Amino acid sequence: MAANRSSRADVRNPLMALPSARLVDGLGDDAREALRSILLDIRQDARTRAEACWRAHKGPMALYWKVVSVYAGHIARLLRQAEVRARQATREKRGTW
């Protein structure tokens, strides 16, 4: 039986609870997108490395790379959420949805 997981964003992404998480809101669109792109590449590379380590029976290294992949994904998601908030703020200023 699957456990019920919270749908709250701060439970799904614990990095959102960090005091500095909102600093990404101050980044420009280009900087946010460039950072997000790098982090998504890191996430994919780390996943690939984790799978290779697991197949080679190197459990501790597989765990390390899996953790790297998860954290890179969480940070990339923070950047995406900042982009969404910026768009919403722009729409609210214009008064359009």
* pLDDT tens digits, 20-61: 988 998 999 999 999 999 999 999 999 999 999 999 999 999
Q: What is the predicted pLDDT for the residue at 86?
A: 82
- Exposure string of 7-17, with b = 16+ CB inside 10 Å and e = fewer, is eeeeeebeebe
pTM over 0.85: no
Q: What is the predicted pLDDT for the residue at 1?
A: 54
Q: Is the separation of the CB atoms in 82 and 16 below 8 Å? A: no
Q: Is the separation of the CB atoms in 42 and 79 below 8 Å? A: no
Q: Please state, as a whole number, how many other Cβ atoms lie within 10 Å of the Cβ of residue 46.
A: 20
Say how far apart CA 63 and CA 13 lie, in whole Å: 19
Sign for the pseudo-dihedral over CA of 32, 36, 39, 41: negative
